[in-house]
Amino acid sequence: MLAIIPARGGSKGIPCKNIRPFAGHPLIAFSIAAALQAETVTRVLVSTDDEEIAEIARRYGAGTPFLRPSQLAQDGTTDLPVFQHALAWLAEHEDYHPDIVVHLHATTPVRPRGCVDAAVRLLLEHPEADCVRGVVEPGQNPHKMWRIDRGTGRMITLLTLPGIAEPYNAPRQTLPPVYLQTGHINAIRPAAILGGSMTGRVILPLVIDAHYEVDLDTLADWEHGEWLVAQGELEMVWPEEKK
């Protein structure tokens, strides 16, 4: 089982985000720790174009067998070509072919203990599934959300719901539960990635306590995340620097 943590050097929102100190450690160290502490993961790899990130990743126990090509580290680069490159490189240079790929987002550092193993085991228990993705219950229901038509200025419903004519006017309790995908964990079959998708067609959920939902896009997110961790109430994964 291979864990891949993508971490490019450039970041417009928060400079050097992936290695910026968070709660006493470089941010990426939390995702590395989640992979290293998982019983089901046998190899941990960081895909980066930045030598400083690679050096810090190695210091915390991850492998960096290659530096990612710069054309795969642009602002608009999606995860798919990054993962396809990693799998192709490992196949060509090491004849290494993982059974499952674990995708951990560096910008989601607050993970409950055991979530990586839970996702991998769920995927192993369901051979018909292509992916297990971490989700949380969101604070708002999208059936009560809208778009605004730029031409007319009128509101347009974001979603419709069979059986309920106006879900946006319905009591919240009558609406079906919804879930928000997070960066905590994705366990994926390599065939899905090589076939052109980061999830495949059959996706199973791993429902995670929403208290662990910390996604760092802004400095305000960062301050809130560090405050949350400082409370000491979350049973989360902590990194250990290798000597």
Q: What is the pLDDT of residues 2-58, one digit of tens each?
A: 999 999 997 777 888 999 999 999 999 999 999 999 999 999 999 999 999 999 999
Same domain membership, residue 163 and residue 64: no
Q: In the chain, which stretches have pLDDT less than 70? A: 241-243
DSSP code for 177: P
pLDDT at 241: 66
CB 31 within 8 Å of CB 105: yes
Burial of 201: CB neighbours in 10 Å, binned 0-12, 13-18, 19+ = exposed
Question: Cα–Cα distance between 130 and 61 in angstroms, integer?
Answer: 28
Tell me how many domains the chain contains.
2
CA 144, CA 140: separation in Å to the nearest integer?
Answer: 8
Sign of CA dihedral 67, 70, 72, 76: positive
Altogether, the residues listed in the chain come to a count of 243
Q: Domain check: are 186 and 174 in the same one?
A: no
Domain that holds residue 52: 2-134+181-230
| Final residue of a structural domain among 118, 151, 178 | 178
Do 92 and 48 fall into the same domain?
Answer: yes
Specify the pLDDT at position 150.
95
pTM for this model (two decimals): 0.92
Question: Do 84 and 101 form a contact (C-beta atoms < 8 A)?
Answer: no
Is residue 43 within a helix (H) or strand (E), and if so which, with residue range?
A: strand 43-47
| Nearest alpha-carbon partner for 25 in 102, 105, 110 | 110
pLDDT of residue 14: 85
**Same domain assignment for residues 41 and 157:** no
